[in-house]
Amino acid sequence: MVLRTELAPLPPGPRVPIAVQTVAFGSFRHLVLPVLRRRYGDVISLSLYPERKVVQLANLDHVKTVFGGSVTTFHAGEGNMILKPLMGEHSVLLTDEDVHLRARKLLMPAFHGAALRGYRDMITELTVAEVERWPVHRPFRSHDRMRVLTLEIILRVVFGVTTGPRLDELRPLLNRLLEIGPLDIFGWHNPKLQRFGPWKRNFEVQQRVDELLYAEIAERRRASDLDSRADVLSRLLTVPVDDDRLSDAELRDQLITLLLAGHETTATALAWSFHDLARNPIEHAAALAAADADDEKHLEAIAKEAMRLHPVIGEVARRLTEDIEIGGYRIPAGYTVMPSINMVQLDSAHHPDPLTFRPSRFLDGNSPPPGSWMPFGGGVRRCLGAGFSLLEATIVLREVLTRFQLTPDKAKAEPQRPRHITMVPGRGARVSVSPRRA
């Protein structure tokens, strides 16, 4: 609610230097935040680079207050400003209110309804081509293979084609942009660092990616058959109302957002799915039966449970435009509130035995409490690609599990490790596969 008194205290939190808090949050937040919650409660104040006061929220009712609040008070775009150097100021992730609604309206048709149904054959075709190249009886990093596959899929969705020298160069560069650690993020917001070492190399990669995207946009603008194409870029170039047509800079920002955010979550969720199935014989057998029966609800539940147990993104962010009060604490305008996906999804109050991989949580009317599963965020800013991601995961699981049985390379589960703003399997979700049928 909007604060009406100055008497409420500010949220508590650690007092260590901002650099220490930033590194701890960037590299170990999945370990640090539960400790801070036990010490400070459900509302925790942190200071993070660059010059940002943030408040982590672990209570589901508080999270619902944020997701259900006014978009004029809770600015998601401003909350994601750490991504601005990479995604661009026009990105659907970084804009608010009317500007955001315009971008979302233009992008949404590519990820809903008939468009989703039209992607099934394409996803299946690319998945079959990928898994038929997998080595058998030899451990490999399933996360790497899923990143390759989901990147191919989103390239097809965004550009309509996946061949040509420009896209061949773009693929490895996009992967390099994603191979960014917490310390690399300092270079995003400090031009002086971009003249040195890894920060310089990252900046040069990003510049080359931009050059390739602008070249693709220019070439596509000259195409004479845009009306017959269904890919995202062609759709955006054929918007019927002149006032809504996007500039090259706006197009670039939406394309890079889709390319980077449009495959990473799904790839990581699939890798964790293989990791967990390989270590759980009962769930593995149930998954094989579901794949054989083309039981898409069960296969989707596997992906959902992987996203619950191993959140790819640990929190969502909303920057406040006015003071609010949550949980008895005053949070001033200019602060960023962060509903914690990690703490809510691993809370036994909402998910009994929360550290156990159990897809049945999402089957037979056993869905968790509303709002307690939020890998795609919530409210009006919920990820517009959520349906696409789950469809993609379901198809990939079916194609893999009808062909192979999974075994882990080691019985011990892999730890999480940070990569830029995401958390991924520490050893790449290594598994072995063996053919089910001759």
**What is the residue extent of each domain of the chain?**
18-435
Position 74, amino acid = F
- What are the Cα distances from residue 131, in Å, to 17, 34, 142? 47, 38, 10
Position 189, amino acid = H
Q: Give the Cβ contact number of residue 189 at 10 Å.
A: 15
Please report which confidence band the pLDDT of residue 181 belongs to, taking 50, 70 and 90 as the band edges.
Answer: low
Handedness of CA 189, 190, 191, 193 (dihedral sign): negative
Token pair of 182 as six digits: 């917490």
Question: 308-319: buried (b, 16+ CB within 10 Å) or exposed (e) per residue?
Answer: bbbbbbbbbbbb
- Top-tier CATH class for 18-435: mainly alpha
CB 417 within 8 Å of CB 424: yes
- As a whole number of angstroms, the distance between CA 253 and CA 306 comes to 29
Q: Over pLDDT 70: what percentage of the chain?
A: 95
Best-predicted range by mean pLDDT among 65-69, 161-165, 172-176?
A: 65-69
- Three-class SS state of 15: coil
User: Is residue 327 scored above 70 in pLDDT?
Assistant: yes
| pTM as predicted | 0.92
Poorest-pLDDT segment among 143-147, 162-166, 183-187, 382-386: 183-187
User: Is residue 7 scored above 80 in pLDDT?
Assistant: no
CB 45 within 8 Å of CB 10: yes
CB 157 within 8 Å of CB 133: no
Q: Average model confidence (pLDDT) for the chain?
A: 91
Ramachandran quadrant class, 88 (left: phi over 0; alpha: psi -120 to 50; beta: rest): left
Residue with tokens 């037979």: 364
What is the arithmetic mean of pLDDT over 332-356? 96
User: Is residue 148 scored above 50 in pLDDT?
Assistant: yes
What is the arithmetic mean of pLDDT over 166-170? 92
pLDDT at residue 3, as a whole number: 47
User: Is residue 1 scored above 60 in pLDDT?
Assistant: no
Q: Is 113 exposed, middle or buried (0-12, 13-18, 19+ CB in 10 A)?
A: exposed
**69: DSSP letter:** S
Encode pLDDT of 68-106 as tens digits: 999 999 999 998 888 888 899 999 999 999 999 989 988
User: Is residue 211 scored above 90 in pLDDT?
Assistant: yes
Question: What does residue 241 show for φ and ψ, rounded to 5 degrees?
Answer: -95, 120
Encode pLDDT of 240-262 as tens digits: 655 567 899 999 999 999 998 88
Torsion angle (degrees, nearest 10) of CA 334, 61, 112, 383: 40
- In terms of residues, how long is the chain? 438
